[in-house]
């Protein structure tokens, strides 16, 4: 009778332990990769690289020089653009000021000379015409004289128009055209100045120089990536949270990050989690999660234990919200 009671008690304890194990909540966990926020700097021109100032792995402050490209061709274009701008400025100033007295006098002198030339050619034509009437010269000589008179008359008309233009002053249309030409020339100078400055490549934000794919002397194509900066001081775990666990994970949720090859875990918190589900990517599939939907999330590591960790290391993230 005593033995039977002990057996009943043992069975009851086993049932309680089983129920306790069923009620115990397992940690929410997700798989992913370690990543850094990357900033890719591109080449604006295909000028050759003259000098690499920084080296891969260097910690750079914002504005630090990374490399320099050959600036001679762009400098020549910039000098030409500045000369065109100066010429446009002078032309606009001239139109606004109006013609000087010297230019008006010069134009009047040209008109007087053209008038004298026309008078001389007319007199010569009359003389040759009288000789032709007496059959002393050929008709071709008279025709040539008549053509010279036509040219002289045209020159006189052009000279008179130039004088009238100077005396009447600048029109609104001419001023508008000169203004537009100057604005265009100044825009070209600004664009080339920016291109010139960018031939000295600087990092816009502080970070670690991760990659310099081109050596000194090489000519990168315009638009090619010539430097990669890891801009934040800490990496983050890029993970995919399985759909059944999504309700327990939100922005700001505390987490523990386990990184392959490092014994001690990192603490962190969720800085972003997607509101739309996607299919679980191949590298985070498990037997349990296969074919389930998941939500992209980023978990930032605690700065106090940061190390020089490379991108692409597999990680496992457990969320403390599930450890209650």
Q: What percent of the chain has pLDDT over 70?
A: 80
Q: What is the pLDDT of residues 281-320, one digit of tens each?
A: 655 555 555 446 778 888 888 765 566 777 888 999 988 6
Q: Which pTM does this prediction carry? A: 0.57
Q: For residue 207, which of 1, 30, 34, 39 has the smallest C-alpha distance?
A: 39
Q: What is the pLDDT of residues 4-62, one digit of tens each?
A: 444 443 333 333 334 344 444 455 678 889 888 889 999 999 999 999 999 998 989 99
Note the CATH architecture for domain 38-68+196-230. Answer: Beta Barrel (2.40)
Note the CATH architecture for domain 25-36+233-322. Answer: Beta Barrel (2.40)
Mean pLDDT of the chain: 81
Domain residue limits, the chain = 25-36+233-322, 38-68+196-230, 75-194
Q: For residue 309, which of 260, 255, 238 has the smallest C-alpha distance?
A: 260
Q: What is the pLDDT of residues 201-215, one digit of tens each?
A: 999 998 889 999 999
Q: What phi and psi values does residue 56 have, to the nearest 5 degrees?
A: -60, 135
């Amino acid at each position: 009778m005593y033995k039977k009671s002990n057996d009943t008690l043992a069975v009851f304890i086993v049932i309680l332990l089983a129920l306790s194990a069923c009620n115990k909540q397992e940690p929410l966990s997700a798989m992913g990769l370690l990543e850094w926020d990357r900033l890719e700097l591109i080449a604006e021109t295909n000028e050759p690289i003259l000098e690499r100032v920084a080296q891969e792995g260097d910690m750079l402050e914002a504005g630090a020089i990374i490399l320099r490209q050959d600036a001679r061709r762009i400098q020549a274009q910039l000098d030409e653009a500045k000369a065109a701008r100066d010429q446009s400025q002078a032309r606009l100033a001239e139109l606004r000021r109006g013609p000087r007295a010297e230019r008006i006098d010069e134009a009047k002198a040209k008109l007087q000379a053209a008038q004298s030339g026309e008078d001389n050619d007319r007199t010569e034509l009359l003389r040759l015409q009288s000789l032709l009437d007496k059959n002393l010269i050929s008709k071709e000589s008279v025709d040539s004289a008549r053509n010279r008179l036509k040219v002289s008359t045209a020159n006189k008309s052009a000279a008179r128009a130039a004088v009238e233009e100077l005396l009447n002053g600048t029109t609104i249309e001419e001023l508008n055209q000169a203004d537009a030409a100057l604005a265009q020339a100044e825009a070209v100078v600004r664009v080339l100045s920016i291109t010139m400055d960018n031939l000295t490549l600087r990092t816009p934000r502080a970070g670690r120089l991760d990659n310099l794919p081109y050596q000194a002397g090489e000519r990168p194509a315009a638009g090619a990536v010539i430097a990669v900066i890891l801009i934040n001081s800490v990496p983050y775990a890029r993970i995919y949270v399985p759909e059944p666990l999504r309700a327990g994970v939100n922005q700001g949720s505390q987490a523990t990050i386990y990184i392959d090859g490092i014994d001690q875990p990192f603490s962190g918190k969720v800085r972003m989690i997607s509101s739309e589900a996607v299919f679980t990517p191949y590298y985070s599939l498990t037997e349990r999660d296969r074919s389930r939907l998941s939500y992209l999330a980023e978990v930032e590591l605690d700065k106090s234990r940061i190390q020089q960790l490379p991108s692409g290391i597999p990680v496992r993230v457990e969320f403390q919200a599930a450890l209650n």
